[in-house]
Amino acid sequence: MTLFVPFDGSELAEAALVRAAEFGAVFEEDVLAVSVIPDGNVDYARSRGWLGPDESFDRDAVVATLHSQVTDLCPSADFRHKFVDRYAPAGTIASRVRSLAQSEDASMVFVGSENAGHVVSTVSSVGRGVAADDSYDVVIVRHRRPAKVARLRNASPHRSPKSDFYLPE
Protein backbone atom coordinates (compact mmCIF):
# COMPACT_ATOMS: atom_id res chain seq x y z
CA MET A 1 0.00 0.00 0.00
CA THR A 2 1.03 3.60 -0.58
CA LEU A 3 0.51 6.94 1.12
CA PHE A 4 -0.36 9.22 -1.79
CA VAL A 5 0.05 13.01 -1.92
CA PRO A 6 -1.22 15.18 -4.79
CA PHE A 7 1.58 17.75 -4.93
CA ASP A 8 1.46 21.18 -6.58
CA GLY A 9 4.22 22.80 -4.57
CA SER A 10 1.92 24.94 -2.42
CA GLU A 11 2.51 25.31 1.30
CA LEU A 12 -0.49 23.09 2.00
CA ALA A 13 0.80 20.41 -0.38
CA GLU A 14 4.13 20.59 1.45
CA ALA A 15 2.33 20.21 4.77
CA ALA A 16 0.38 17.23 3.39
CA LEU A 17 3.63 15.62 2.23
CA VAL A 18 5.18 16.08 5.67
CA ARG A 19 2.13 14.52 7.31
CA ALA A 20 2.28 11.60 4.89
CA ALA A 21 5.98 11.13 5.70
CA GLU A 22 5.17 11.07 9.41
CA PHE A 23 2.45 8.47 8.86
CA GLY A 24 4.77 6.52 6.55
CA ALA A 25 7.44 6.29 9.23
CA VAL A 26 4.93 4.99 11.77
CA PHE A 27 3.11 2.56 9.44
CA GLU A 28 6.21 1.62 7.44
CA GLU A 29 4.50 2.53 4.18
CA ASP A 30 5.90 4.18 1.08
CA VAL A 31 5.06 7.79 0.28
CA LEU A 32 4.33 8.85 -3.28
CA ALA A 33 4.01 12.50 -4.33
CA VAL A 34 2.29 13.06 -7.66
CA SER A 35 2.10 16.28 -9.65
CA VAL A 36 -0.42 16.78 -12.44
CA ILE A 37 0.84 19.54 -14.73
CA PRO A 38 -1.16 21.41 -17.37
CA ASP A 39 1.27 21.19 -20.29
CA GLY A 40 2.39 24.56 -21.62
CA ASN A 41 0.18 26.61 -19.29
CA VAL A 42 2.61 29.38 -18.34
CA ASP A 43 0.12 31.30 -16.18
CA TYR A 44 -0.76 28.20 -14.16
CA ALA A 45 2.92 27.34 -13.69
CA ARG A 46 3.85 30.88 -12.65
CA SER A 47 0.95 31.14 -10.21
CA ARG A 48 2.31 28.07 -8.42
CA GLY A 49 5.93 29.21 -8.42
CA TRP A 50 7.08 26.59 -10.90
CA LEU A 51 8.41 29.28 -13.27
CA GLY A 52 9.85 32.75 -12.81
CA PRO A 53 8.06 35.85 -14.17
CA ASP A 54 10.01 35.89 -17.45
CA GLU A 55 10.54 32.17 -18.00
CA SER A 56 8.83 30.33 -20.81
CA PHE A 57 7.22 26.97 -20.13
CA ASP A 58 9.84 24.24 -19.98
CA ARG A 59 8.51 20.79 -19.06
CA ASP A 60 11.83 19.63 -17.62
CA ALA A 61 12.26 22.77 -15.53
CA VAL A 62 8.74 22.51 -14.09
CA VAL A 63 9.17 18.84 -13.21
CA ALA A 64 12.62 19.51 -11.72
CA THR A 65 11.20 22.31 -9.54
CA LEU A 66 8.45 20.07 -8.18
CA HIS A 67 10.83 17.16 -7.73
CA SER A 68 13.25 19.35 -5.75
CA GLN A 69 10.46 20.51 -3.46
CA VAL A 70 9.43 16.92 -2.79
CA THR A 71 12.96 15.68 -2.10
CA ASP A 72 13.74 18.66 0.14
CA LEU A 73 10.83 17.69 2.38
CA CYS A 74 10.84 13.94 2.06
CA PRO A 75 13.89 12.48 0.29
CA SER A 76 12.60 8.94 0.67
CA ALA A 77 9.35 9.69 -1.17
CA ASP A 78 8.81 8.54 -4.70
CA PHE A 79 7.82 11.21 -7.20
CA ARG A 80 5.70 10.91 -10.32
CA HIS A 81 4.31 13.49 -12.68
CA LYS A 82 1.68 13.48 -15.39
CA PHE A 83 0.85 16.09 -17.98
CA VAL A 84 -2.69 17.06 -18.93
CA ASP A 85 -4.02 19.42 -21.56
CA ARG A 86 -2.88 23.03 -21.32
CA TYR A 87 -6.23 24.34 -20.06
CA ALA A 88 -7.48 21.25 -18.26
CA PRO A 89 -10.23 22.15 -15.80
CA ALA A 90 -9.91 21.19 -12.14
CA GLY A 91 -12.21 18.22 -12.76
CA THR A 92 -9.71 16.77 -15.22
CA ILE A 93 -6.84 17.21 -12.78
CA ALA A 94 -8.87 15.65 -9.93
CA SER A 95 -9.85 12.75 -12.18
CA ARG A 96 -6.22 12.11 -13.10
CA VAL A 97 -5.20 12.25 -9.42
CA ARG A 98 -7.96 9.78 -8.46
CA SER A 99 -6.94 7.44 -11.26
CA LEU A 100 -3.30 7.57 -10.20
CA ALA A 101 -4.20 6.99 -6.55
CA GLN A 102 -6.18 3.90 -7.52
CA SER A 103 -3.49 2.55 -9.87
CA GLU A 104 -0.85 3.00 -7.15
CA ASP A 105 -3.05 1.13 -4.64
CA ALA A 106 -3.15 4.12 -2.28
CA SER A 107 -4.22 3.26 1.24
CA MET A 108 -4.45 6.94 2.22
CA VAL A 109 -4.47 10.19 0.26
CA PHE A 110 -3.20 13.35 1.94
CA VAL A 111 -4.84 16.47 0.48
CA GLY A 112 -3.73 19.99 1.41
CA SER A 113 -6.77 22.28 1.42
CA GLU A 114 -7.26 25.47 3.40
CA ASN A 115 -10.98 25.68 2.78
CA ALA A 116 -11.82 22.22 4.08
CA GLY A 117 -14.69 22.41 6.50
CA HIS A 118 -16.85 19.91 8.27
CA VAL A 119 -18.30 18.63 5.02
CA VAL A 120 -15.99 17.21 2.37
CA SER A 121 -17.91 18.95 -0.42
CA THR A 122 -16.54 22.31 0.76
CA VAL A 123 -13.03 21.29 -0.24
CA SER A 124 -11.65 23.04 -3.32
CA SER A 125 -12.64 21.52 -6.65
CA VAL A 126 -9.59 19.27 -7.05
CA GLY A 127 -9.65 18.24 -3.39
CA ARG A 128 -13.38 17.52 -3.47
CA GLY A 129 -12.96 15.26 -6.49
CA VAL A 130 -10.09 13.37 -4.89
CA ALA A 131 -11.78 13.10 -1.48
CA ALA A 132 -15.00 11.74 -3.01
CA ASP A 133 -13.41 8.42 -4.01
CA ASP A 134 -14.12 5.69 -1.46
CA SER A 135 -11.30 3.34 -2.50
CA TYR A 136 -8.89 5.00 -0.04
CA ASP A 137 -8.96 6.99 3.19
CA VAL A 138 -8.42 10.74 2.94
CA VAL A 139 -6.49 12.99 5.31
CA ILE A 140 -7.27 16.69 4.81
CA VAL A 141 -4.40 18.92 5.89
CA ARG A 142 -5.59 22.45 6.65
CA HIS A 143 -2.59 23.91 8.45
CA ARG A 144 0.40 25.09 6.43
CA ARG A 145 3.10 24.37 8.94
CA PRO A 146 2.75 21.26 11.03
CA ALA A 147 4.95 21.58 14.09
CA LYS A 148 7.38 18.94 12.89
CA VAL A 149 8.25 20.28 9.40
CA ALA A 150 11.72 21.61 10.28
CA ARG A 151 12.49 18.62 12.48
CA LEU A 152 11.43 16.21 9.73
CA ARG A 153 13.56 18.03 7.15
CA ASN A 154 16.66 17.90 9.32
CA ALA A 155 16.35 14.68 11.28
CA SER A 156 14.38 12.27 9.15
CA PRO A 157 15.80 8.74 9.14
CA HIS A 158 14.63 8.67 5.52
CA ARG A 159 17.06 11.38 4.32
CA SER A 160 18.90 9.15 1.88
CA PRO A 161 17.69 9.92 -1.64
CA LYS A 162 16.28 7.21 -3.83
CA SER A 163 17.85 6.42 -7.16
CA ASP A 164 14.57 6.24 -9.10
CA PHE A 165 13.79 9.96 -8.84
CA TYR A 166 13.44 12.08 -11.90
CA LEU A 167 16.62 14.08 -12.29
CA PRO A 168 17.03 16.64 -15.08
CA GLU A 169 20.03 16.21 -17.33
Query: Residue 167, Cβ neighbours under 10 Å: how many?
Result: 12
Give phi and psi for 80, each to the nearest 5: -130, 155
Instruction: Report the predicted TM-score, pTM, of the whole model to 2 decimal places.
Output: 0.76
Domain 2-155 sits in which CATH superfamily? HUPs (3.40.50.620)
Res 168: pLDDT: 55
Specify whether the CB–CB gap between 77 and 21 falls below 8 A: yes
* pLDDT of amino acid 82: 96
Tell me what pLDDT residue 139 has.
80
CA distance 17 to 31: 8
Give the pLDDT score at 119.
46
Q: Where are the domains of the chain?
A: 2-155
Name 67's Cβ contacts closer than 8 Å, sequence gap at least 6: 79, 81, 165, 166, 167
pLDDT of residue 45: 95
Q: Where are the alpha helices (DSSP H) in 48-89?
A: 59-73
For the chain of 169 residues, list the mean pLDDT of each consecutive stretch of 10.
Answer: 93 92 92 97 94 94 96 94 91 91 93 60 50 66 62 52 54
| pLDDT given at position 50 | 94
